[in-house]
Amino acid sequence: ITKMDLMEQGANPNAGQTIKDELAGKCQKLFQAFLEEFQNSDGEVKYLRDAEELIRPERNTLVVSFTDLEGFNQELATAIQEEFYRLYPFLCRAVRNFARDHGEVPISKEFYVAFQDLPTRHKIRELTVVKVGSLVRISGQVVRTHPVHPELVSGTFLCLDCQGVIKDVEQQFKYTQPSICRNPVCNNRRRFLLDTNKSKFIDFQKVRVQETQAELPRGSIPRSLEVILRAEAVESAQAGDKCDFIGSLIVVPDVSQLSTPGVRAESSSRTAGVQGYENEGLRGLKALGVRELSYKLAFLACHVAPTNPRFGGKEIRDEEQSAESIKKQMTVQEWEKVFEMSQDKNLYHNLCTSLFPTIHGNDEVKRGILLMLFGGVPKTTMEGTSLRGDINVCVVGDPSTAKSQFLKHVEEFSPRAVYTSGKASSAAGLTAAVVRDEESHEFVIEAGALMLADNGVCCIDEFDKMEMRDQVAIHEAMEQQTISITKAGVKATLNARTSILAAANPVGGRYDRSKSLKQNINLTAPIMSRFDLFFILVDDCNEVTDYAIARRIVDLHSRIENSVERVYSLDEIRRYLLFARQFKPKISKESEEFIVEQYKRLRQRDGSGVTKSAWRITVRQLESLIRLSESMARMHCCDEVQPKHVKEAFRLLNKSIIRVETPDINLDQEEEEAMEEEEDDNQMNGHDAPNGVNGDVNGEVNGHEHTNGINGHGVNGESAKPSLRLSFAEYKRISNLLVLHLRRAEEAEDETALTKSEVVNWYLKEIESEIDSEMELINKKAMIEKIIYRLVHYDYILIELTQSGLKGSAESSGTESQEKDVTLVCFAYIVLSCFVKCCQSVMSM
């Protein structure tokens, strides 16, 4: 409303030319007072030193914090914010006076003011007519810069008729000659010569900014805006940068026409100048008064700064950021949400489900990807070698097992993610290419997907389809986090600090369990070792998961409205991620020992050949373990890596390095699982599913392999009571034997089924020849009992029958069934071959 009043008031040309702008004059005084008096926390006059700096010839702009101004004089701050364009020359004058008072500056030197820390920020889309002339902050991506050139701000003219000198003809975006020679007897209106030596110039640069993606409504083309930079603000923005601009919206041409009246009122000479221009420009249609009704917009910026990361401007992990600074940039509600999330007991699970709401199951993959997003802490050793903090994940799986969906989700979610296909991209497309510019014929470096994802995630689908030499090309990027190219005389090393999320298909189209991971995918060992985590998705049949899949899919198809439910919105997660990534957790003494112990265990196991790993355990796995632990600690916003973080990291890592296809059977498993359940009760292990651990849809590496290392039992009690383990092949052989025997018995004598003790005895008799000592006999007996227990309770191959009849396998408690002598029967419909198959599938899950 005030604006309208002012518009109208100033719209009267007569009033405008005579009345001095009183408000402006007052503001100038107040602003000068602010500069003289405002003190920082140490009691020094804050802007004094800055003003003294202005003596240097290359300096001319005083940067003032708007927050300071608000604290000093709220009214003045409001006036400046609302009437910025009108007051600007006066504020600059105040700076000039201030500088002159405190230093020897040339009389003719012009000074400028720039504001920073403007609290409110507007979207480019919000710059409407009402914003013209007021001080606003916008952020945008610089898409084009023009060269800097001098702009005439105040011209000195020589009258070609009377040789009189006309000084201080103010210019505003337009070359403006005096309307008439000031010599009263000279009537020259046209022929003037600009005296460049006596005129004042200012650096001037035009850049174009474009709406950032975060602000853009879906389906619209981003708006762009010309920004005019002057004085010290020039050359501070490069194409591609995301910057904040503080200044005001103006309209061109005819700035005087729509600008706030104060400016025009104050400088009568300028108004005259504009009219002179109009007169001079009389030609063609304009003479008939035909004119356009439209104006262009431009933004006159006094201050430029890199964009605040909250708006997706800066990189998600900028070294200069700290958790504290991120917190400061959030609103109260946003911060409360982040805090609430950090306190969430179920955070791990909730984040996973919120990130991938349309993907059923596959919890381990989700966890792995989540940890990848949090990332480890990059380090530099004393020798100067840098160790990456990025976590690389590879998902290998049968066709149609939601691999691409994982990648697509991450691309969608992550602010700096690039999705590309290994099949479609050559090495150049992934890393970087030297291309010859069609117009200038110059060689330029074209960024590849990896560089585009610098400080983000590079999702590569069909990773295995990449040619071998291309795999080598990205090898460097994965470990060194740089890309070097030497081509056509161009040599460059470019940053590619990116996590890689890759999806690969198994060699034969389907994952072959009888082969190792390495045999299953077409990747070289060096590349494979660069991945911290491997996940294997196998399409398996299982009634419960099948139902879940069916429900999910039918649901998607039958409901029109969006049926996606999330605990946290993606924006909330992004903010949380940004905050949590500022933590640089240190490894505690306790955790360090724990890590060493786990690593040693892995090495020993690897060396002894008891467990066959997908590859040899090397120091790379140790690095991975540390990175994953750090990431885990980050997720919980901890400054210290605690053993529980290491534990989960180890669990995930273990899944990916154990040979998935023939995992060892741990017969003491149910005890361990019970313990585990107690320990991390807020971590959903899928125990709610009737068949326990294999509740995941596609049966990734999951479930039974809670290997001994992780839990308390493994740590303190291992030497005392070694867990019973046997290889998968052995387990399969024995179970086949048992089933065969049972079936034969069933066929032969229908009425009297075998009791458990009979079966055990039969088995021991079978292997009589192999048993040497009594000790061994006891061991074997214990083992066969465990096997039967497992066949009953985990694999559902056998059914226990007590006197009362059929006993539900799922609800029986172990102790009870072991004490009574129960009758064992096979599931009637299970034929041997099917058993083997099912068994396999269960094993691998």
Task: Name which of residues 48 to 67 contact another protein (CB under 8 A).
Answer: none
Among 258, 323, 753, 801, binds another protein (CB under 8 A): 258
- Residue 589 Cβ, how far from another protein at the closest point, in Å? 44
Window of 287-295, 583-591, 664-672, 765-773 that interacts with another protein by CB under 8 A:
287-295
Pairing of strands 61-65, 112-116: parallel
* Shortest distance (Å) from residue 534 CB to another protein: 17
Nearer to another protein, 202 or 674 (CB): 202
- Cα(396)–Cα(394) distance, rounded to whole angstroms? 6
**Interface with another protein in residues 122-141 (CB under 8 A):** 125, 128-129, 132, 141
> Minimal distance in Å, beta carbon 397 to another protein?
10
Write each residue from 348 to 387 as x if it is in contact with another protein (CB under 8 A), else as -, in one continuous string. Answer: ---------xx-----------------------------
- Which range in 344-352, 486-494, 508-516, 600-608 contacts another protein by CB under 8 A? 508-516
Out of 221, 332, 382, 619, the only residue in the binding site for another protein (CB under 8 A) is 221
Helix, strand or coil, per DSSP, at residue 48: helix
Q: Is 560 one of the binding residues for another protein (CB under 8 A)?
A: yes
Select from 40, 196, 257, 618 the one that contacts another protein (CB under 8 A).
257
What residues contact residue 148 under an 8 Å CB cut-off, 6+ apart? 203, 204, 205, 234, 235
Task: List the Cα angle 209/210/213 in 5-degree steps.
Answer: 145
Judge contact between 24 and 76, C-beta under 8 A.
Answer: no
The amino acid present at 117, given as its one-letter code, is D
User: Could you say whether residue 539 binds another protein (CB under 8 A)?
Assistant: yes
DSSP code of 509?
S
* Distance, CA of 321 to CA of 579 (rounded, Å): 10
Point out which span in 160-168, 292-300, 634-642, 659-667 binds another protein (CB under 8 A): 292-300
Taking each helix axis from N to C terminus, what angle separates 774-793 and 756-766, rounded to the nearest 10 degrees? Answer: 130
> CB 468 → another protein: shortest distance, Å?
15
Rg (CA), the chain: 37
Least distance (Å) from another protein to the CB of residue 119?
26
Q: Which of 563, 569, 682, 752 binds another protein (CB under 8 A)?
A: 563
Q: Are strands 499-504 and 457-461 parallel, antiparallel or unpaired?
A: parallel
Please report how close the Cβ of residue 226 comes to another protein at its closest, in angstroms.
5
Site for another protein, residues 1 to 30, rule: CB under 8 A: 7-8, 11-13
Sole window of 192-200, 561-569, 624-632, 715-723 interacting with another protein (rule: CB under 8 A): 561-569
Which of 308, 256, 332 is CA-nearest to residue 137?
308
Report the distance separating Cα 118 and Cα 109, nearest Å: 27
Contact region with another protein (CB under 8 A), list: 144-152, 158-166, 598-606, 621-629: 144-152
Closest CA to 444 of 490, 483, 407: 490
Among 53, 412, 571, 768, binds another protein (CB under 8 A): 412
Among 107, 185, 285, 619, binds another protein (CB under 8 A): 285
Report if residue 465 touches another protein, rule: CB under 8 A. Answer: yes
**CB nearer another protein, residue 495 or residue 604:** 495
Least Cα distance to 81 among 66, 97, 61, 95 occurs for: 66
The site for another protein, by CB under 8 A, has a size of: 108
Beta bridge partners of residue 800, listed in sequence order: 824
The answer to whether 567 and 427 are in contact (CB under 8 A) is: no
In the list 23, 158, 214, 252, the residue contacting another protein (rule: CB under 8 A) is 252
CA distances, 177 to each of 185, 474, 512, 574 (Å):
18, 61, 84, 55
Task: Tell whether omega for the bond before 253 is within 30 degrees of 0, i.e. cis.
Answer: yes
Rounded distance, CA 234 to CA 200, Å?
A: 17
The residue assigned the tokens 């990205």 is 474
User: Considering beta carbons, is residue 208 or 601 the nearer one to another protein?
Assistant: 208
Does residue number 225 form part of the binding site for another protein (CB under 8 A)? Answer: yes
Q: Which stretch binds another protein (CB under 8 A): 427-435, 620-628, 754-762, 780-788?
A: 427-435
Which residue, 492 or 556, is less far from another protein as judged by CB?
556
Among 363, 464, 532, 705, which residue sits at the site for another protein (rule: CB under 8 A)?
464
Identify the CA nearest to 640 among candidates 648, 630, 649, 650. Answer: 630
Q: With H, G, I as helix, E, B as strand and everything else as coil, classify residue 508.
A: coil
Please state the closest distance from residue 423 (CB atom) to another protein, in A: 9
Which residue is it, tokens 């599938």? 841
- Per-residue tokens: 523: 């990747």
Restricting to residues 708-737, name those near another protein by CB under 8 A: none
- Is 284 a binding residue for another protein by CB under 8 A? The answer is yes
CB of 251 to another protein, least distance (A): 5
Report, in Å, the least distance between residue 285 CB and another protein.
5
Instruction: With CA atoms as reference, report the closest residue to 246 among 64, 59, 46.
Output: 64
Q: Where do we find the tokens 């940053």?
A: 495
d(CA 25, CA 623): 66
Residue 282 within binding range of another protein, rule CB under 8 A: no
Cβ proximity of 504 and 485 under 8 Å: no
550 contributes a contact to another protein by CB under 8 A: yes
Q: Taking Cα atoms as reference points, which of 776, 674, 669 lies closest to residue 725? A: 669
Q: Which of residues 297 and 801 has its CB atom nearest to another protein in the complex? A: 297
Q: Cα 231–233–237 angle (5° rounding)?
A: 145
Question: Shortest distance, CB of residue 254 to another protein, whole angstroms?
Answer: 7
**Judged by CB, which is closer to another protein: 379, or 465?**
465
In the chain, the amino acid numbered 537 is L
**Positions of E strands within 147-218:** 149-159, 165-170, 192-194, 200-210
Of 799, 798, 360, 357, nearest to 544 (Cα)? 360
Q: Which of 25, 378, 429, 692 binds another protein (CB under 8 A)?
A: 429
Strand, helix or coil at 421?
strand
Q: Which is nearer to another protein, 408 or 584 (CB)?
A: 408
Residue from 551, 600, 733, 744 touching another protein (CB under 8 A): that is 551
Site for another protein in 595-634 (CB under 8 A): none
Q: Which stretch binds another protein (CB under 8 A): 192-200, 326-334, 382-390, 535-543?
A: 535-543
Alpha helices by DSSP H, listed for 609-668, are: 619-635, 643-657
Determine if 409 is a binding residue for another protein (CB under 8 A): yes
Among 59, 109, 189, 206, binds another protein (CB under 8 A): 206
| Contact call for residue 556 and another protein (CB under 8 A) | yes
The least distance separating another protein from the CB of residue 93, rounded to whole angstroms, comes to 23
Helix or strand holding residue 492 (H, E) = strand 490-495
CB 342 within 8 A of CB 635: no
Which stretch in 65-73, 280-288, 668-676, 756-764 sits in contact with another protein by CB under 8 A? 280-288
**Binding range to another protein, per CB under 8 A, among 277-285, 472-480, 661-669, 807-815:** 277-285
Rule CB under 8 A: choose which of 444, 488, 525, 554 binds another protein: 554
Q: Cβ(245)–Cβ(233) under 8 Å?
A: no
Task: Give the dihedral of Cα atoms 589, 592, 594, 600; nearest 10 deg.
Answer: -140
* Minimum distance from residue 577 beta carbon to another protein (Å): 18
Residues of this chain, 145-164, that bind another protein according to CB under 8 A: 149, 151
Binding residue for another protein (CB under 8 A) from 58, 104, 292, 774? 292
Q: Which of 329, 350, 426, 519 binds another protein (CB under 8 A)?
A: 426
